[in-house]
Amino acid sequence: MKKLYAFLILLVLFLSPADAQRSARNGRTRVNHNADKNHVDTVPSLLYQHYFGQLDSLNNDTVPMRYIESDPDYFQLFVPIAYYYAPIKQASEMNWSFQMPDSVQPIGSGLLSYNDRLFNKTARTNKQVNKVLLNLYVNRPDLVVTTEDQIRSRRLFRDDIPVKMSSETRVMKLFKPEEVKEDVGKAQVVIRKPNWWVTGGSGSLQITQNYISDNWYKGGESTNSVLGNLQLFANYNDKEKVQFENLMEIKMGFNTVPSDTVREYRINTDVLRLYSKLGIQAASKWYYTISSEFNTQFWKNYKTNTNNVVSSFMSPANFIFSVGMDYKLKNKKLNLSVLMSPVSYNLRYVGDKKVDETKFGLDEGKSTLHVIGSKVETTLAWTIIPSITLNSRLYYFSNYQKVEAEWENTFNFVLNRYLSTKLFVHARYDDGSTRSEGSSYFQLKELLSFGINYTW
């Protein structure tokens, strides 16, 4: 009897854990089944919310509005329809290629799986858009209003707006190396006609000052003088045979002379000279030459302590025309011209009735003088050293009865580009003019001055 009770107790203890495990397994099965059912039920809801729910919110007023995410990949369907090349290219592609059967199983996808749809969304969208556009091109070509080429040819909107530069300069930008531009653009050939004309000139204003007290033991007078000089030239040289030189020279000088009680200042230099010379090359340094010169003065000049006019404008005035040969030598330091004219015509005119015409070789009562003779004229520009230059002019004219000669020399001592000291020496000989008793036909004038000088 005791054995029977013990057997029943053991049987009850053995069966209770088994029922508990079965109940637990059944409970887990029901839970998993319900979870799978809920998961399956939510799939259509998510698809509906993502796709159809958005469309229903737009078309059905009873459905609440849903957030629609902007997707720029579809822009070609919502702008005016244009003809693009991509739909035609996509429809014409042939992606098929022959492939040999591979006996080896590929192992790439099995080792590391990934969703490639996240990386090719734009490409997939473009294919769908191209299909829609191709369908429009075939069935509704009237909706096409522009082309891809026209769109790309348009300028950007307001591309002329300058970039606003910051007024603040960063310190690091000061040490930033400049960008080297390799693209220098295309070279353009510019054809310019040669200009054979050379123009220029020089100007100077010189002053001198001399003071002597009234009780100076040897006597003398205090004087002040000013001399202005202007030269302008325009020369033509075709580098072959023709040379044409033109020069205008103006000199004016004023000085104070206390011994002249009639006027406070007198004119000691007054020259207006116009000169032209046309040469055609005959040999290496020789030119057939025609030259002309006109010279006169600007102001009236009076005799000391009187109102007697000695000379004035066009009194005298000289016009000289010459034909001959010109020898020219030019190098870095020397510019020499020697004009020899066997035939030269000189016209002298004195128009002021107050001027004594006999002092200039004219007969009394006459206003013109015609003289034919020969002439030699030499001009020299010599750079002795860079700071000292010499400009010289030698003029000789003779009609085989009288001689008229002039020799002008200007020494220029250059201090710098703007300051210089000049020594001007002018010698003259004229045996055709009337001379005072006991005087000579030889005349001399000299002036040493300091002032400003400029050349262009």
Rounded to two decimals, what is the model's pTM? 0.56
User: Measured between alpha carbons, how far is 277 from 292 in angstroms, rounded to an integer?
Assistant: 7
User: Measured between alpha carbons, how far is 331 from 453 in angstroms, rounded to an integer?
Assistant: 24
pLDDT of residue 165: 66
User: Measured between alpha carbons, how far is 280 from 286 in angstroms, rounded to an integer?
Assistant: 9
CATH code assigned at 308: 2.40.230
Rg of the chain's alpha carbons, rounded to an integer?
56
- For the ranges 97-106, 196-205, 258-267, 379-388, the lowest mean pLDDT is seen at 97-106
Q: Which are the contacts of 254, defined by CB distance < 8 A and separation ≥ 6?
A: 225, 226, 265, 266, 267, 268
The DSSP line for 132-166 is: HHHHHHHH-GGG--EEHHHHHHSPPTTTTPPPPPP
Q: Is residue 428 part of a domain?
A: yes
Q: Is residue 180 part of a domain?
A: no
Name the band, by pLDDT with cuts 50, 70 and 90, for residue 441: confident
Nearest by Cα to 342 from 285, 399, 384: 399
* Residue 314 · residue 352 · CB < 8 Å: yes
- For the ranges 256-270, 356-370, 426-440, the lowest mean pLDDT is seen at 426-440
Q: Where are the beta strands (DSSP E) in 350-387?
A: 368-385
Of residues 221 and 414, more confidence is placed in 414
Average pLDDT, the chain: 82
pLDDT of residue 369: 93
Domain of residue 206 covers 197-455
Average pLDDT over residues 134-156: 88
Name the band, by pLDDT with cuts 50, 70 and 90, for residue 265: confident
Token representation of residue 396: 């000789």
pLDDT of residue 432: 76
Average pLDDT over residues 340-353: 94
Q: At what angle do helices 85-92 and 121-139 cross, to 10 degrees?
A: 100
* Residues forming a β-bridge with 335: 330, 381
Name the band, by pLDDT with cuts 50, 70 and 90, for residue 20: very low
Residue 109 scores a pLDDT above 90: no
Q: Is residue 26 part of a domain?
A: no
- Helix (H), strand (E) at residue 420: strand 419-430
* Residue 355 · residue 315 · CB < 8 Å: yes
Angstrom CA distances, 82 to 108, 130, 135, 146, 150, stand at 42, 12, 13, 5, 9
User: Measured between alpha carbons, how far is 323 from 345 in angstroms, rounded to an integer?
Assistant: 9
The total number of structural domains that make up the chain: 1
Instruction: Tally helices (H) and strands (E) across the chain.
Output: 7, 16
User: Measured between alpha carbons, how far is 84 from 152 in angstroms, rounded to an integer?
Assistant: 11
Calculate ∠ Cα 298-300-301, nearest 5°.
120
Q: Is residue 99 part of a domain?
A: no
Q: Three-state SS for 128?
A: helix
Average pLDDT over residues 356-373: 91
Angstrom CA distances, 105 to 109, 111, 115, stand at 11, 12, 21
Q: Which are the contacts of 86, defined by CB distance < 8 A and separation ≥ 6?
A: 126, 130
Residue 14 scores a pLDDT above 70: no
Name the band, by pLDDT with cuts 50, 70 and 90, for residue 84: very high
User: Measured between alpha carbons, how far is 345 from 401 in angstroms, rounded to an integer?
Assistant: 15
Q: Is residue 207 part of a domain?
A: yes
pLDDT of residue 337: 96
Which residue has tokens 């191209």?
130
Average pLDDT over residues 67-87: 83
Average pLDDT over residues 93-99: 74
Residue 332 scores a pLDDT above 70: yes
Residue 384 scores a pLDDT above 50: yes
Residue 218 scores a pLDDT above 50: yes
Average pLDDT over residues 263-287: 93
Average pLDDT over residues 102-121: 65
- Give burial (CB, 10 Å; 0-12/13-18/19+) of 386: exposed
pLDDT of residue 36: 43
Please give the DSSP secondary-structure letter assigned to residue 392. Answer: E
**Which range, 211-225, 351-365, 366-380, is most confident?**
366-380
* Residue 133 · residue 84 · CB < 8 Å: yes
CA 223 to centroid of chain Cα atoms: 51
User: Measured between alpha carbons, how far is 146 from 50 in angstroms, rounded to an integer?
Assistant: 34
Q: Is residue 77 part of a domain?
A: no
Q: Which are the contacts of 343, defined by CB distance < 8 A and separation ≥ 6?
A: 322, 323, 324, 372, 374
Q: Is residue 27 part of a domain?
A: no
- For the ranges 178-192, 234-248, 299-313, 358-372, the lowest mean pLDDT is seen at 178-192
* Residue 267 · residue 298 · CB < 8 Å: no
Q: Is residue 28 part of a domain?
A: no
Residue 108 scores a pLDDT above 70: no
Angstrom CA distances, 4 to 9, 11, 16, 342, 370, stand at 9, 11, 19, 176, 182
